[in-house]
Amino acid sequence: MPESEPKTFCQDRSKALLLAIVSVAHAERIRCGQPACGHSVFRRIHVVREDGKVLVLGSTCFAKRYGAATALGAARFGGGDGRALTDEECQLLLNNTEALITLFEEESAAIKAAYISPAISSLRPSSAKVSTLQAVPHQHQQETPWAWVKPLSSVIYLMLKDGSGWMRAQRKDGQHLVLPWPVFDGWDEALPPLFGLVDGESGGNVLPDVVAALKYLRDRAEWETKPGRWKDVLAEIARRPSGPGQIKGALVSGLGQAL
Ligand SMILES: [Zn+2]
């Protein structure tokens, strides 16, 4: 091996952080980001932030670049077993790695919140993906009004300037949805086609592109909450002094109905 190959080895490991180890379907395999590698990878893909840049590396090239498979320690998000990405997460890995990392961060924040919360009981995680995350408590309760929500996933609420409010939540199959909150007449025609089809069961739009959908909402938002657990997001909504009073009232009664 040539010793002077440029940028193939990381000189300063302190500038590198292993964010996650992920897997995708073989059909969705991606190009390893190591210079001159050229292999496609699908299992145990290492997502690293090095010197401010995100790198997506096969496990062999990761070990080469940093000196050993364990050189950077445990991954920041998720376990070390190469969690399988949903189709949507896979798209983000290809096209918008930063957005994928933001999703991981949200998920990690939700998991931390679950640890802190004493109100943990009943339902077992029903998604294999959730159980691959090391920090997930074994048991937790359904905490949103919707049974289809992925356990321990985070939600975000956006209040638009037109007075409508929308909750972004994740389904057990990993798909993200946007739902009117509270529900209002004509909500199913309020959003443009980029929000995808309305799912009758959950009462929301299934997002083909969560990043584009959130951007659309943010461009029109009066305010939004931090991503977080359901009860924390509801608490933040209640604290908003600028929220229209009738909407806040409707939120509370909407919650009562939904539960
Ligand atoms: Zn490689």
Structure token pair of residue 61: 């090239």
The pLDDT, as a whole number, for residue 205 is: 94
CA 5–ligand 1 middle distance (angstroms): 14
User: Regarding predicted confidence, which is higher, 113 or 152?
Assistant: 152
Please tell me the predicted confidence (pLDDT) of residue 259: 37
Residue 86 Cα to ligand 1 middle (Å):
22
Q: How confident is the model at residue 126 (pLDDT cuts 50, 70, 90)?
A: very low
Quote the tokens at residue 222: 């009066």
Report pTM: 0.47
The total of structural domains in the chain comes to: 2
Q: Are 68 and 10 in contact (CB under 8 A)?
A: no
Ligand 1 centroid to 38 CA: how many Å? 6
| 108 and 170 belong to one structural domain | yes
Same domain, 70 and 134: no
The alpha carbon of 87 and the centre of ligand 1 are apart by a number of angstroms equal to 22
Does residue 51 sit in the same domain as residue 103?
no
Asked if the structure places residue 94 within a domain, the reply is: no
**Boundary of a domain, candidates 84, 107, 133:** 84
64 Cα: distance to centroid of ligand 1 (angstroms): 9
**Same domain, yes or no, for 106 and 179?**
yes
CA 76 → CA 48, 67, 121, 209, distances in Å?
10, 19, 26, 25
Interatomic CA distance for residues 25 and 89, integer angstroms: 12
Q: What is the pLDDT of residue 114?
A: 62
Kindly give, in sequence order, each residue whose CB lies less than 8 Å from that of residue 125, ignoring residues fewer than 6 positions away. 131, 136, 138, 140, 151, 152
pLDDT of residue 86: 84
Is the CB of residue 254 less than 8 Å from the CB of residue 167? no
Residue finishing a domain among 53, 84, 115:
84
Name beta bridge partners: 53.
50
- Dist. CA 80–CA 21, nearest whole Å: 6
CA of 39 to the centre of ligand 1 (A): 5
Ligand 1 center from residue 67 Cα (angstroms) = 14
Do 51 and 164 reside in the same domain of the chain?
A: no
On whether residue 89 sits in a domain, the answer given is no
Distance between Cα 108 and ligand 1 center (Å): 28
**What residues make up the domain containing 19?**
13-84
- Give me the pLDDT at residue 142, please: 65
Q: Which residue has the higher pLDDT, 45 or 184?
A: 45
Look at residues 84, 108, 123 and tell me which one is the last residue of a structural domain: 84
Using omega within 30 degrees of 0 as the cis cutoff, is the peptide bond preceding 182 cis?
yes
85-123: per-residue pLDDT in tens? 888 888 889 888 888 888 888 887 777 666 554 444 333
Same domain membership, residue 220 and residue 107 = yes
* Residues 74 and 130 grouped into a single domain: no
Considering only residues 124 and 105, tell me which one the structure prediction assigns the higher pLDDT.
105
Residue 4 domain-assigned (yes or no): no
Q: Return residues with CB closer than 5 A to ligand 1 (ion).
A: 32, 34, 37, 39, 58, 61
Residue 223: is its pLDDT beyond 50?
A: yes
Q: State in Å: Cα 61 to ligand 1 middle.
A: 4
d(CA 104, CA 67): 26
Q: Do 131 and 213 share a domain, yes or no?
A: yes
Confidence at residue 67, expressed as pLDDT on a 0 to 100 scale? 92
CA-based radius of gyration for the chain: 20
Q: Mind listing the pLDDT tens digit for each residue in 166-198?
A: 999 999 888 999 999 888 888 888 899 999 988
Query: Residue 76 C-alpha to ligand 1 middle, in angstroms?
Result: 21
Query: Distance, CA 7 to ligand 1 centroid (Å)?
Result: 13
Distance 55 CA to ligand 1 centre (A): 11
Mean pLDDT of 126-143: 44
176 with 255, same domain: the answer is yes
Q: How far is the CA of 52 from the centre of ligand 1 (A)?
A: 20
Same domain, 212 and 113: yes
Structural domain includes residue 162: yes
Cα 96 to averaged position of ligand 1 atoms, centre (Å): 20
| Distance between CA atoms of residues 90 and 97, nearest Å | 9
Give the distance (Å) from ligand 1 centre to CA of residue 165.
45
Q: What pLDDT shows up at residue 58? A: 94
Q: For position 163, what pLDDT does the model report? A: 87
Whether residue 144 is contained in a domain is answered as yes
| Mean of pLDDT values over 124-134 | 39
Q: 33 alpha carbon to ligand 1 midpoint, in Å?
A: 6
